[in-house]
Amino acid sequence: MRAMMFALLAGAASVFAFAPFGVSPLAFVCLGTLFMLLHHAPSARRAAALGFVWGLGAFLAGVGWLYVALHQYGGMPALLAGLAVLLFCAYLALFPMLASVVYHRLRRQIWWADALLAGAAWAGSEYLRGWLFTGFPWLTIGYTQTPPSPLAGWAPVFGVFGLSFIVASLAALAVSVLAALRSPASRRAWAPLLAVLIVCLAGAGLRRVAWTTPVGEPLDVALLQTNIPQDLKWQPEQVMRWLELNYALVARQEARLVVLPETSLPVLTEQLPAGYLEALKARIAPRGADLIVGAFTREGEQIFNSAFTLGSAPAQRYSKNHLVPFGEYSPPLFGWFYRLAAIPMSDQSRGGSPQAPLALAGQQIAVNICYEDVFGAELLHALPQASMLLNLSNLAWYGDSHAQPQHLQIARLRALETGRPMLRATNTGMTAVIQPDGQVSAALPAFRSGALRQRVTGYQGRTPYTLWADWPLIFVALGVVLAAWRRREQVAC
């Protein structure tokens, strides 16, 4: 029971390694605690329980804001919303449980082999979590290593799952160092300690590498934050108020590119007042500028979450392709869920992939909408053509929670992985400009209406990650696990 309590607390504490707290070393402490507990686990069943409890603590503490969307804005009864979040977090905890069982069963008590196995098991389970049933890779441990962490230099090479491999491996190495220091032959601690230093120093060196280079003239951008309350956004009597707010924000801008956030117009475009879009265009086009609008569009019986352009450039559109289950579409056999929750526009269609970047103001802008930027490999189809990334989001569903800073941290990894600036226009926050090195150069305060004006330079070229995506991680993780399994079978014989 004591070990289980330690595992639960370590999992919950791991959330402080993520934004908004950003205590990145805690990732090693919390994972290292789990690995140390696994070393003393008497059976695979106990290892599974430890991994599950660790994961349950991590996800309940880290994504508990889902309750706000289900209960406060989705209308689900409080008890059912709490139960739904608990069950979802229990499902997510199965993946740390899987990693723990693999590590416990296959470890060889050789420091370097166990470190590789820890990285392979943990990163492999996170990759699986990010893929299975359309995936939910939120709180991937690699996100904790955004700048100023020296390990951030590895992101353009191996991506966020590669960072997870490194974090888990270093956590296991730290456990080996502690174990060696407590043994009579404490001099053996130097080898794993040296490995930790080499990986960290290499990451710091890689941070100095400029994988991509500027292209074109700097673009004057205005990213708009409308701050429309989620509980009022869809009320019919409020529609004209929000349309006037959008128009007023656009009309005040003089930037070459103006961006409204996701679904900023809270009706289908065909339901807009006559002449509304033409009036927006009239404020933009005469001065050679362009506007990107987030709104729902319809084609026949299909509804899309779209971003379309108005202005001097030819009309273009991007429609969201990776939809959120239970929020934007109903998985098979889950129609009952919508009888318990009231979620508007919850029967959407995928936009399809690939979709070309938007050609605006001399730049190629790859758009992704809200949740889509959690899936880094899915953004790579727009490269190397795209010179900028643009995310339109509406996180008002989650209130004043950790969802906003966590999402901003995710976007910082996308900028690092691709070597491109990432622009974010959001309803309530965090509207920001992120540079190719993952640094946030400017951001608006959350829950305020306003415009973020910045001059942004596009970038060209390719990082290693954009060339090989997650395939090195997949092959290495499978190779390490299979080698460890084969070795175990040979020893057993």
CA-to-CA separations, 432 to 250, 325, 454, in angstroms, rounded: 17, 26, 10
Inter-helix orientation angle 190-206/155-182, to 10°: 160
Q: Is 370 a catalytic residue?
A: yes
Which CATH number fits the domain 215-462, given the four candidates 3.90.380.10, 3.40.50.300, 3.40.50.170, 3.60.110.10? 3.60.110.10
Q: Of 126, 262, 372, 417, which one is the catalytic site residue?
A: 262
CA 277, CA 260: separation in Å to the nearest integer? 13
Contacts of 421 (CB under 8 A, 6+ apart): 388, 389, 415, 433, 434, 435, 436, 456, 457, 458, 459
Q: Choose, from 320, 328, 372, 417, the residue flagged as catalytic.
A: 320
Residues 312, 314, 316, CA angle at the centre, nearest 5°? 120
Crossing angle of the two packed helices 26-39 and 2-13, in degrees rounded to 10 = 160
How many angstroms separate the CA atoms of 70 and 55, rounded? Answer: 22
- 3-class secondary structure, 317: strand
- Which tokens hold the place of 372? 């889509």
pLDDT at 324: 84
163 close to 155: Cβ distance less than 8 angstroms: yes
CA 25, CA 144: separation in Å to the nearest integer? 8
For residue 265, CA distances in Å to 324, 373, 449 come to 20, 21, 15
Domains in the chain: boundaries: 2-210+470-492, 215-462
CB-count exposure of residue 109 (10 Å: 0-12, 13-18, 19+) = exposed
The question of whether 89 is a catalytic residue gets the answer: no
Q: Which of 281, 370, 372, 417 is catalytic?
A: 370
pLDDT tens-digit profile of 405-459? Answer: 999 999 999 999 999 999 999 999 899 999 999 999 999 999 999 999 999 999 9
pTM of the predicted structure, to 2 decimals:
0.95
Radius of gyration (C-alpha) of the chain in whole angstroms: 24
The helix (H) or strand (E) run that includes residue 392 is strand 388-393
| Element (DSSP H or E) covering residue 447 | none
Contacts of 58 (CB under 8 A, 6+ apart): 11, 12, 14, 15, 30, 93, 96, 139
Q: Going by DSSP bridges, is the β-strand pair 302-311/317-319 parallel, antiparallel, or unpaired? A: antiparallel
For position 341, what pLDDT does the model report?
57
Rounded alpha-carbon distances, angstroms, from residue 96 to 56, 102, 128: 9, 10, 11
The DSSP secondary structure of 60-102, one letter per residue, reads HHHSTTHHIIIIIIT---HHHHHHHHHHHHHHHHHHHHHHHHH
Q: Which of 338, 302, 337 is nearest to 319 (CA)?
A: 302
- Distance, in Å, from the CA atom of 19 to the CA atom of 61, rounded to the nearest integer, reads 13
Within a 10 A sphere around the Cβ of 168, how many other Cβ atoms?
32
Helix (H, G, I), strand (E, B) or coil at 194: helix
Measured distance CA(95)–CA(128) in Å, rounded:
8
Name the residue among 442, 435, 432, 441 with its Cα closest to residue 419.
435
Residue 205 CA from chain centroid, whole number: 25
Profile the chain (493 residues) by mean pLDDT over runs of 10 residues.
Answer: 95 98 97 97 96 98 94 89 95 98 93 95 98 95 97 98 98 88 68 92 97 96 96 89 96 97 93 96 95 95 94 96 78 58 70 93 95 96 97 93 96 98 96 98 96 98 97 96 84 62
Considering Cα of 74, then 231, then 412, then 16, what sign does the dihedral take?
Answer: negative
Dist CA 161 CA 420 (whole Å): 19
Under 8 Å between Cβ of 391 and 422:
yes
CA-closest candidate to residue 473, choices 109, 176, 126, 114: 126
Rounded to an integer, what distance in angstroms lies between the CA atom of residue 249 and that of residue 235? 21
So what's the pLDDT on residue 277? Answer: 97
Distance of CA 22 to the CA centre of its chain: 15
Q: What pLDDT score does 102 carry?
A: 97
In 3-state terms, what secondary structure has residue 140? Answer: coil
Task: Note the pLDDT of residue 231.
Answer: 84
